[in-house]
Amino acid sequence: HTEEELSRGHSNPGKNLVNGVKANPASSSPKSSLPVPMGPPVYVDLAYIPNHCSGKNTDPEFFKRVRASYYVVSGNDAANGEPSRAVLDALLEGKSQWGENLQVTLIPTHDTEVTREWYQQTHEKQQELNIMVLASSSTVVMQDESFPACKIEF
């Protein structure tokens, strides 16, 4: 191999492959440097905050563009930063730029220290932005297991 061939990765045929498909190295990272074209916001009834509310790929831009009546926060892994305080703060930042004061309900599926602290520390801002955090007091019992649940009606 020539030095040029080696620098292009010919000596490593698996390089730039993701699940056997050739991938552009820049596109394999969650936050690409390529600008995403702006469009009108999308309005939905219910949105699941991606990646268990991890800060890896959710930022204020997500909440500016995906405007939901209900957001589900499912993170329950403090070691991996789930849920992420930065993502919860991004909801406040994104919603503050909507230009309309629509009611938003945040539904955490787990009671975590991060969500409790965020709720207490930003409660005034939540009220100002018309954001309600829905605490679950219901329990579902299935066979020998029971777990908290939340009923949502549309």
pLDDT averages per 10-residue partition of the chain, 154 residues? 48 47 47 64 92 81 93 84 89 93 90 91 96 77 77 61
pLDDT score of 46: 93
Nearest alpha-carbon partner for 69 in 137, 116, 136, 131:
131
Q: At what angle do helices 113-121 and 85-95 cross, to 10 degrees?
A: 40
pLDDT score of 130: 96
pLDDT score of 10: 46
pLDDT score of 95: 95
Question: How far apart are alpha carbons 41 and 21 in whole angstroms?
Answer: 32
3-state DSSP helix/strand/coil percent for the chain, to nearest 5?
A: 30, 25, 45
Give the helix/strand (H/E) hosting 10.
Answer: none
The string over 81-94, giving b where at least 16 C-beta atoms fall within 10 Å of a residue's C-beta and e elsewhere, is bbbbbebbbbbbbb
pLDDT score of 39: 82
